[in-house]
Each structure stands twice: as structure tokens, then as C-alpha cells.
């Protein structure tokens, strides 16, 4: 029956009614053809309640439940979306009850579903939202609740779910389940499950969490992917219950699969795991925090082959027999660059029998530059042979290191001072220390990083050189008259600079900075002769990355003599210097609390530095061109010393450092005005250094090259300024950048000169 039409009345009216009905049907058919999207579209208005299922069958249909509107069908299916390219917006309430109930079910392709209200579904095998078609796009800004099924289930390929609200699953429900290929899930809101699990992609899903995933109940997991899946966590994943897992994969996959944690993963319960990776291959990264607690729990559990695990964050486990990282069945080519467990962060376990890293497979490698602590058991344990342990600068291991079987290797990288002891099979058959000296005593080894000696030598020579070589004759000669000589003048100059040396496989990189003051008097009796005396002091601070700090103070006193004849000039100086060196060296020792000991010592050195410079001035249209050659020699005598604070008991003998330098320089002085000059400089440096160290380490004699010895070539460029002041004095500034094959340095000088 159509509203507004009646077939009652006289027989003569039947014909008229039939004509009207025919016209109306034609109009409706035409409207359907012209507007197919509106054929099954619907709206549940605010304040109204619909009690029957809303079904959309046409392509492009649109459904809307307004704020305050309610859809509560008795049949257990709220909205049935059958066509492609359909859209549903829910701002109200969809409530369904019954076995196999659906709040919303979609089977078409390219559907769009937006929930900003509430979808509440109760009953066994119920679903809040179920989309089986491909390329579904679902956004939840409200609440989706289910008590015995799936909060959201996407069975189509290339589906996307973005959650800004809450998806809550009670009982045996799974909050989000993605079964199609290439499914994507992004969470900015909250995922809750009180009896099962959070988000699962059975295929190669891509799961990203910025919000919270909160799981309660045994055997629950927070985020899980299948073959080839990827997980990124920037928020919180928390599970409470026995055998719970924060991040889960049990199938592995090909290259490109990974699980990266930048946020927080917390699991509590017996045999709980922060990350469980059961399949082969894949890359795991923890740059956040993983916390687990419970008997036999694990921060990270790896059961497949060919897995790469990197820890840049914190992994902390609490409970008996817990493990920070456990790996079983790992296989890798026996090369250092194929290492599978890399720790640059912190791994700490507490409890009886708890271990920091446990390796149950063969051909496994661990590369460590972070902290691993298990004071009540083994910090590192290899249960099979052919294992490799690579210790780098920054290592701190608190607890035993256990090797098993044969074919094992331990290596110590540049920048690491260490005293390590091993149990089980004892000292590995292959020990690699690079160019650093080492002493093996039974199952213990002491390794001394020699970069600290190279740093101390560089700092001492640079400090003495910057003070004794402070420029005395540059700038403007200021007298009572323009042509007058400066008979007597005093000068004060501040000098500073820094040096950065790149590391290598044999010598660790380091850097330092220095600054000081030099003062002097200049005498010019005439006939081109000049003489003077100077005195200065400076301080420097340097560091070998993650292993040693060196502080240095020093002073010099010296004199110089110069002459000029025509365009040729020469200058000679000699200086005596003294330096005090205070060094602090971190020693990685797995038998001390915290895994680190600090060795410290103080010593002194005495230096003699003569130098000669020869050059000439040549007038050019651009200015005065000045080629010059400087030769300098430094002999530094360093006292011996004995360190305190570490068990490797380092005692260093007195030693000598000799350095000869040649500098070829070309300078161009530009007269900008009568009161200012600018000088551009560039040239080449040739440096030859000789030194050696004899010492006693762990009670045994050692001898080694401290590093940076031999001949080096470099280049430099600089610019100088001088400005005459109204009081007759002058300000003088110098700057220079130098390069050599191992590093970069920069120096600066700012001085004031006043004639009398």
C-alpha cells in the first residue's frame, strides 16, 4: 500500500488509480536510475530509535545515524552494507545482542565507516564492525565495545583502521582482528581487552601504536602480526597475566619485516614476554622501554633463525629465572658485521637465575657498547660454541660471562679499557684487541686503550705550542710618528682552540679544547733587530669517547730574537714549559658492582721548545706577499705514575715525546686603510712524532706505541686582522683551521699591543 493512495471506492475510479500508479512507478524508476546513491541510503534522526536492520545494497549508498539517534534492531544486525563505495557515519548508538550479532557488517569494496558515537555488541562470536571487502577505510573516534567476539574485524585486503577513540573487548574477545593482506592499523586512542588480546594481523599487517593497548588475562598479547608483518610502537603496550606478550610474531617472514619499539612495553605474569618473535628473519629494535616481571619472564624472546635484535633503550626484567634477551636457533655468517644482537642501551635483570642475554643457538654474535647487568647470575651466557662477543667503547657488564664449547671469539674495540673474566669454557680461543696492549691471566684479560696516551700527548704539545707560538710581531707598529719604530711595546694575547681526531679500527677517536693567556715585552733597538720575552699559562680538557677524560694545565716562559734586512726577516725563539696531567679512565670490569671501575692518576711533564722562522716580503699590486718557513722542535719529558681505583693496576714508566714540525706558509697582507690590515694565510704542515710507552698492566710488563706517531701531512688556512686604536694601541686577531688525514683543528688568538 502506498501512502496517499486508496483502491476503495467506486469501480469507475479504479482505472484512474491504475493510471496514477503507473505514472508514480515510472517516476520512481526514473529517480532511481538518476540517483542510485539514494536508493538504500538512510538516516536515523536525533531523538529517534530504529528497531530494524538498516541495509544498503546500492553502490555509493550513504547511511547516517545522527547524534542522539539509536539503532537497536532485534535481529542482531545493526547495519548491513552490501554494495561497493558505501559510507556510514555513526554519531549516535548502535546496539545489537545475540549470537553472531553485528553492530555493522560490510561486504563491499572501498567502503568508508566513521564511528564517532557508540557501537555496543553482545553475544558469542559477535562483532562490533566486520568488513570483508577490500580497501575498507574505518575510523573510530568513539567507543566500540564487544563482549564475546571481535571489536573490529577486517577480512579484506588493503584495509585500514584508524582508532582515535576506544575499542574495548571483554571476555574471550579480540579487540581488533585483521585477516586480509596489506592491512594497516594506527592507534591514537585506547585498545582494551579484559580476557583475550588487543590487535592481531594474521598476515603481513602494518600496526602502529601511538596510544595505549591494555590487555588483561592469560595468554593475551598486545600487538601481533603474521608472515611479513610490521609493528611500530610509540605509545604504551601493557599485558597482565601469565604467558602474556606485548609484541608478538610467530611466523617471521622475508626481508623487511620488523618490530620497532620507541615507546613502553610492560608485561606482568609468569612467563610473560615483552617481545616474542617466533619466526625466522626480521629486524627488532627497542629504542624505548621494555619491562617484564614474573617467574621465567623475558624482555625479548627470539626463537627463529636469522633475526637481528638491536637495543638502544632499556630492557628490565624482575623475577627469578628471568631473561633480558633470550635467543634460540639463531644462525649467522661468522663475520662481525653479521652480528645479530646489538646492545647500545641497558639490559638489567634481577632475581635468582636471571640472565641478561641468553644464547641457546650456534654461530651467534653479540655486539655490546651498552650496559648488561645480572648480578645474581650470568650477564651473558652462550650455551653452544662458535659464539662471538664483540665489546666496544661504552661497555659495562655486571655479572658473569659464560662461554660453552669451542670456536668462540671475544674482541675488544677501540676506546675500551677492560678487565673481563669468563666462566664455563673459560677464555675464548680467539682474542682480538686491535692495536691495544692486553694481558691474559687464566680466564681473565686486561685490555688497555692507548688512545688516552695519544690524547695526552696531543693536548700537551698543542698547549705548549699555542703559548710559545703566540704571534708577537703581527699587526701595526704604533709609535708617536707614522715612520717611527716601536722601541718598546707590551702585548697581551688570549689563545684558544679545539681538535677532533677521527677514530679508526686501531685507534679510538678523541677531542679536546684549550684556552690560555700569554703576555710579553718587545724591544726594537734599531737596525732591524728585535728581542723580547714572554710568559703564559693555559688549561685544556679532552675526552676519548665513553672511556677517558684528561684535564691538563701548563705554562711557559721564553724569549725571542729577530732581525730584518730589506725584505728578508728571521725570528728565533726558545721556551721552557711545564704541564700537569690529570686523567680518569673508565675500566669495564664484570666483577665489580655496576660493571665499571674508575682508574685515576696525576703526572707532570717538562718541555723545551726552540723554533726558527725565515721569510721575506714582496710588494704586489694586491698587497704584501710573504712566503715563510718555520721549523719547530719540542721535547716533552713525562714523569711516570701509578693509577688507583681499578683492578688492572696500571703503572706507567717515565717517557719522552719528541716532535719536529715544518710549516710552509704563504701570507698576503691587504691594507684596508691607514688603521686596519687584513692578512690571508694558507700553507702546508709536516709533523714527525716519536714516542713509546713501557708500563705494567695487571702485574705484567707491556710496551706499545701510544698512537699518532710517525710522519703526518696536513694543510691549513687562516685570516688575521689588526686595527689601530685611538689610544695608540692596536687590537690583533688571528684565526686558523687545519686539516690532516686524521682530523680537524681550529685555533684563534685575540691580542692587544701598546707601545711606550
Query: What would the DSSP string read from start to end of 493-522?
Result: EEEEEEEEE---SSS--EEEEEEEEEEEEE
3-state DSSP call for residue 456? helix
Which residues have C-beta within 8 Å of that of residue 1, sequence separation ≥ 6?
none
The upper half-sphere exposure of residue 153, i.e. CA atoms within 13 Å in the direction of its Cβ, equals: 23
- Separation of alpha carbons 408 and 388, rounded Å: 6
- The helix (H) or strand (E) run that includes residue 20 is helix 12-34
Which residues have C-beta within 8 Å of that of residue 580, sequence separation ≥ 6?
552, 553, 554, 602, 603, 604
- Separation of alpha carbons 14 and 420, rounded Å: 106
Q: Are 275 and 284 in contact (CB under 8 A)?
A: yes
- Separation of alpha carbons 638 and 494, rounded Å: 26
Which residues have C-beta within 8 Å of that of residue 221, sequence separation ≥ 6?
197, 198, 200, 215, 239, 244, 245, 246, 247, 248, 276
* Residue 677 phi, psi (nearest 5): -135, 155
Q: What pLDDT was estimated at residue 675? A: 83
Q: Are 238 and 213 in contact (CB under 8 A)?
A: yes
Q: What pLDDT was estimated at residue 478? A: 37
Q: What's the sign of the alpha-carbon dihedral 260, 139, 196, 293?
A: positive
- Separation of alpha carbons 454 and 504, rounded Å: 13
User: If you write DSSP's letter for every residue of 721-756 in order, what string do you get?
Assistant: EEEE-TTS-EEEEEEEEEEETTEEEEEEEEEEEEE-
Q: What pLDDT was estimated at residue 348? A: 96
User: If you write DSSP's letter for every residue of 463-497 in order, what string do you get?
Assistant: HHHHHHT--SS-S----SSTT---SEEEEEEEEEE
| Backbone dihedral region for residue 330 (phi beyond 0: left; psi -120 to 50: alpha; all else: beta) | beta
- The helix (H) or strand (E) run that includes residue 453 is helix 451-468
- Separation of alpha carbons 131 and 87, rounded Å: 12
- Separation of alpha carbons 407 and 117, rounded Å: 63
Q: What pLDDT was estimated at residue 335? A: 35
Q: What pLDDT was estimated at residue 474? A: 43
Running DSSP on this structure, what letter comes out for residue 252?
A: -
| Backbone dihedral region for residue 645 (phi beyond 0: left; psi -120 to 50: alpha; all else: beta) | left
Q: Which residues of the chain have pLDDT under 70?
A: 1-39, 252-256, 329-339, 471-486, 672, 756
**For residue 666, which of 718, 722, 739 has the smallest C-alpha distance?**
718
**For residue 248, which of 270, 219, 278 has the smallest C-alpha distance?**
278
Number of Cβ atoms within 10 Å of the Cβ of 30:
10
Rounded to an integer, what is the distance from CA 655 to the centroid of its chain?
A: 40
Burial of 262 (0-12, 13-18, 19+ CB in 10 A): middle
Q: What pLDDT was estimated at residue 193? A: 93
Q: Are 398 and 372 in contact (CB under 8 A)?
A: yes
**For residue 541, which of 530, 550, 533 has the smallest C-alpha distance?**
550
Grid cell, residue 367, equals 655486539
Q: What pLDDT was estimated at residue 504? A: 87
Going by their DSSP bridges, the two strands 137-140 and 54-56 should be labelled as unpaired
Q: What pLDDT was estimated at residue 476? A: 41
- Separation of alpha carbons 749 and 129, rounded Å: 73
- The helix (H) or strand (E) run that includes residue 31 is helix 12-34
**For residue 627, which of 667, 663, 683, 662 has the smallest C-alpha distance?**
667
Q: Are 450 and 705 in contact (CB under 8 A)?
A: yes
- The C-alpha cell 573516534 sits at 141
Rounded to 5°, the CA angle 553-558-561 comes to 150
Amino acid at each position: 500500500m502506498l501512502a496517499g493512495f486508496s483502491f476503495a471506492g467506486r469501480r469507475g475510479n479504479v482505472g484512474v488509480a491504475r493510471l496514477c500508479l503507473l505514472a508514480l512507478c515510472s517516476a520512481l524508476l526514473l529517480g532511481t536510475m538518476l540517483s542510485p546513491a539514494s536508493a538504500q541510503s538512510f538516516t536515523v534522526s536525533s531523538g529517534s530509535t530504529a528497531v530494524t536492520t538498516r541495509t544498503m545494497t546500492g553502490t555509493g549508498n550513504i547511511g547516517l545515524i545522527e547524534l542522539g539517534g539509536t539503532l537497536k534492531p532485534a535481529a542482531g544486525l545493526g547495519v548491513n552494507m552490501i554494495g561497493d563505495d558505501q559510507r556510514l557515519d555513526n554519531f549516535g548508538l548502535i546496539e545489537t545482542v545475540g549470537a553472531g550479532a553485528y553492530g555493522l557488517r560490510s561486504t563491499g569494496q572501498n567502503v568508508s565507516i566513521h564511528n564517532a558515537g557508540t557501537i555496543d555488541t553482545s553475544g558469542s562470536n559477535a562483532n562490533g564492525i566486520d568488513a570483508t571487502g577490500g580497501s575498507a577505510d574505518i575510523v573510530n573516534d568513539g567507543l566500540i565495545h564487544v563482549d564475546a567476539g571481535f571489536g573490529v574485524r577486517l577480512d579484506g585486503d588493503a584495509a585500514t583502521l584508524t582508532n582515535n577513540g576506544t575499542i574495548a573487548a571483554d571476555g574471550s574477545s579480540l579487540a581488533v582482528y585483521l585477516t586480509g593482506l596489506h592491512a594497516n592499523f594506527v592507534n591514537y586512542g585506547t585498545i582494551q581487552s579484559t580476557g583475550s588480546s588487543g590487535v592481531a594481523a594474521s598476515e603481513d599487517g602494518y600496526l602502529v601504536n601511538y596510544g595505549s593497548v591494555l590487555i588483561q588475562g592469560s595468554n593475551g598479547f598486545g600487538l601481533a602480526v603474521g608472515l611479513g608483518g610490521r609493528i611500530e610502537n610509540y605509545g604504551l603496550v601493557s599485558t597482565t597475566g601469565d604467558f602474556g606478550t606485548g609484541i608478538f610474531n610467530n611466523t617471521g617472514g622475508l626481508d623487511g619485516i620488523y618490530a620497532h619499539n620507541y615507546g613502553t612495553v610492560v608485561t606482568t605474569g609468569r612467563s610473560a614476554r615483552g617481545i616474542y618473535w617466533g619466526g625466522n628473519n626480521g629486524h627488532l629494535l627497542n629504542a624505548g622501554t621494555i619491562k617484564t616481571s614474573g617467574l621465567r619472564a623475558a624482555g625479548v624472546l627470539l626463537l627463529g633463525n636469522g633475526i637481528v635484535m638491536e637495543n638502544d633503550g632499556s630492557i628490565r626484567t624482575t623475577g627469578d629465572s628471568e631473561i633480558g634477551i633470550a635467543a634460540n636457533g639463531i644462525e649467522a655468517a661468522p663475520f662481525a658485521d653479521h652480528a645479530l644482537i646489538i646492545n647500545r642501551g641497558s639490559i638489567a635483570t634481577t632475581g635468582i637465575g636471571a640472565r641478561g642475554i641468553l644464547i641457546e643457538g650456534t654461530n651467534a654474535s653479540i655486539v655490546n657498547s651498552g650496559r648488561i647487568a645480572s648480578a645474581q647470575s650470568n650477564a651473558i651466557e652462550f650455551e653452544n660454541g662458535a659464539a662471538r662477543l664483540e665489546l666496544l667503547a661504552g661497555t659495562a657488564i655486571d655479572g658473569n660471562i659464560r662461554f660453552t664449547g669451542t670456536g668462540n671469539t671475544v674482541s675488544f674495540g677501540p676506546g675500551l679499557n677492560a678487565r673481563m673474566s669468563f666462566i664455563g669454557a673459560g677464555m675464548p680461543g680467539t682474542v682480538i684487541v686491535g692495536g691495544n696492549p692486553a694481558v691474559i691471566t687464566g680466564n681473565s684479560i686486561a685490555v688497555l686503550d692507548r688512545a688516552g696516551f695519544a690524547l695526552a700527548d696531543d693536548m700537551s704539545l698543542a698547549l705548549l705550542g699555542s703559548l710559545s707560538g703566540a704571534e708577537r710581531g703581527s699587526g701595526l707598529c704604533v709609535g708617536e710618528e707614522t715612520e717611527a719604530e716601536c722601541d718598546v711595546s707590551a702585548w697581551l694575547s688570549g689563545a684558544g682552540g679545539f681538535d677532533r681526531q677521527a677514530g679508526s679500527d686501531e685507534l679510538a677517536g678523541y677531542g679536546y679544547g684549550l684556552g690560555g693567556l700569554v703576555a710579553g715585552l718587545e724591544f726594537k733597538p734599531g737596525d732591524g733587530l728585535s728581542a723580547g720575552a714572554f710568559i703564559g699559562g693555559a688549561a685544556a680538557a679532552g675526552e676519548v669517547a665513553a672511556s677517558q677524560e684528561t684535564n691538563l694545565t701548563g705554562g711557559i716562559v721564553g724569549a725571542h730574537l729577530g732581525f730584518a734586512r730589506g725584505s728578508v726577516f728571521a725570528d728565533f725563539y726558545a721556551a721552557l714549559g711545564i704541564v700537569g696531567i690529570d686523567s680518569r679512565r673508565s675500566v669495564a670490569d664484570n666483577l665489580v658492582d655496576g660493571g665499571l671501575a674508575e682508574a685515576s692518576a696525576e703526572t707532570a711533564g717538562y718541555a723545551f721548545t726552540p723554533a726558527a722562522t725565515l721569510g721575506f716580503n714582496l710588494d704586489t699590486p694586491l698587497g704584501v706577499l710573504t712566503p715563510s718557513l718555520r721549523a719547530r722542535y719540542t721535547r716533552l719529558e713525562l714523569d711516570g705514575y701509578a693509577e688507583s681505583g681499578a683492578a688492572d693496576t696500571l703503572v706507567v714508566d717515565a717517557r719522552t715525546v719528541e716532535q719536529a714540525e715544518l710549516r710552509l706558509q704563504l701570507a698576503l697582507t691587504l691594507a684596508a686603510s691607514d688603521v686596519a690590515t687584513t692578512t690571508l694565510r694558507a700553507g702546508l704542515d709536516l709533523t714527525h712524532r716519536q714516542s713509546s710507552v713501557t708500563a705494567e698492566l695487571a702485574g705484567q710488563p707491556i710496551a706499545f706505541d701510544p698512537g699518532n706517531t710517525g710522519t703526518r701531512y696536513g694543510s691549513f688556512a687562516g685570516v688575521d686582522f689588526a686595527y689601530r686604536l685611538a689610544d695608540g694601541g692596536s687590537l690583533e686577531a688571528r684565526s686558523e683551521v687545519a686539516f690532516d688525514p686524521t682530523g680537524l683543528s681550529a685555533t684563534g688568538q685575540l691580542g692587544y699591543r701598546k707601545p711606550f
